[in-house]
């Protein structure tokens, strides 16, 4: 590093800290956000405080890197392991684009549960149109469909 420090301003430093925190697992990034808000300091200052604390404890120069550390990083776009479509994951390591694909891959999605299949309740159905059938759970009367 050089002796001359750049004055980037809070906006750019916060953007940089956000970019780093976005790569962490959800709970870690959320904790840093929550604590920075609780202490009423910019996110970049709290991130630097964490690094400084680790340095002062002597752990900055002696760390252990998990060989699978990249598995925990967030990915912008993934390919569903069941249907093969591209999707933006909501969680780190999310293998499927939807619950239906996850259930289908696990062999737990039944024909009557598939969208637009028998037993499917259209989103446009009124609550009063949906009745409970004792044997099969929720169903839509035939005249509605």
What's the rounded Cα separation, in Å, for the pair 111 and 78? 26
Mean pLDDT of 9-18: 88
Mean pLDDT of the chain: 75
pLDDT at 11 over 90: no
Higher pLDDT, 114 or 58: 58
pLDDT at 110: 63
What's the rounded Cα separation, in Å, for the pair 125 and 130? 7
pLDDT at 138 over 60: no
Mean pLDDT of 102-124: 62
Residue 11 exposed, middle or buried by CB count within 10 Å (0-12, 13-18, 19+): exposed
What's the rounded Cα separation, in Å, for the pair 119 and 44? 51
Beta-carbon contacts of 131 under 8 Å, excluding residues fewer than 6 positions away, are 138, 139, 140, 141
Look up the pTM and report it.
0.45
What's the rounded Cα separation, in Å, for the pair 58 and 125? 62
pLDDT tens digits, one per residue of 48-84: 999 999 899 888 887 677 666 666 666 678 889 889 9
pLDDT at 45: 93
Percent of residues, the chain, with pLDDT higher than 70? 62
pLDDT at 139 over 60: no
pLDDT at 140 over 90: no
CA distances from 44 to 3, 14, 92, 110, 126 (A): 20, 5, 23, 49, 49
pLDDT at 96 over 60: yes
């Amino acid at each position: 590093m050089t002796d001359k420090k750049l004055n980037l301003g809070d906006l750019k430093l916060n953007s940089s800290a956000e970019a780093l925190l976005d790569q962490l697992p959800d709970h870690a990034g959320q904790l840093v956000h929550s604590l920075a808000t609780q202490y009423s300091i910019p996110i970049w200052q709290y991130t630097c405080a964490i690094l400084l604390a680790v340095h002062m404890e002597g752990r900055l120069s002696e760390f252990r890197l998990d060989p699978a550390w990249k598995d925990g990083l967030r990915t912008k776009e993934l390919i569903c392991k069941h249907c093969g479509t591209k999707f933006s994951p909501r969680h780190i390591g999310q293998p499927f684009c939807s619950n239906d694909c996850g259930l289908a891959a696990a062999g737990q999605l039944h024909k009557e549960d598939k969208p637009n299949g028998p037993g499917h309740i259209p989103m446009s159905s009124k609550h009063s149109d949906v009745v409970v059938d004792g044997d099969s759970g929720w169903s839509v009367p035939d005249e509605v469909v």
